[in-house]
């Protein structure tokens, strides 16, 4: 568990920029608020390891929900803003382009 600004990010070996045991490259700097519980995790594997319930995707009509946290500056992004971004709009930190292959696990 780590704190980024006012947000607690749950997970395994989470650092101060939201990297975890599973994803710890230089661009792995986001955490996601899970639709099922409202808690923040760096990845689906951390949620699976720690949470006592199955994950749920955010519905398409929830895309304006602030559910993505930049681990570098602590900015909150709506799902829509995150899906359209390659970098944080607040601090310009780059996001891992490989994360796009996992979007279906978080967003409908």
Q: Which long-range contacts (CB under 8 A, 24 or more apart) does 21-24 make?
A: 21/46, 22/46, 23/96
Does residue 5 carry a pLDDT above 90?
no
**Res. 70 pLDDT band, cuts 50 70 90:** very high
Domain count, the chain: 1
pTM of this prediction? Answer: 0.94
Give the tens place of pLDDT for each residue, 35-58: 999 999 999 999 999 999 999 999
């Amino acid at each position: 568990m780590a704190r980024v600004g006012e947000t607690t990010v749950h997970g395994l070996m989470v650092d101060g920029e939201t990297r975890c045991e599973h994803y710890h490259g230089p661009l792995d700097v986001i955490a996601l608020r899970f639709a099922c519980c409202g808690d923040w995790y760096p990845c689906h594997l951390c949620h699976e390891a720690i949470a006592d319930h199955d994950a749920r995707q955010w519905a398409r009509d929830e895309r304006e929900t602030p559910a993505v946290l930049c681990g570098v500056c602590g900015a909150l992004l709506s799902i829509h803003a995150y899906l359209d971004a390659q970098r944080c709009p607040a601090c310009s930190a780059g996001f891992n382009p490989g994360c796009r292959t996992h979007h279906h696990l978080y967003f409908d």
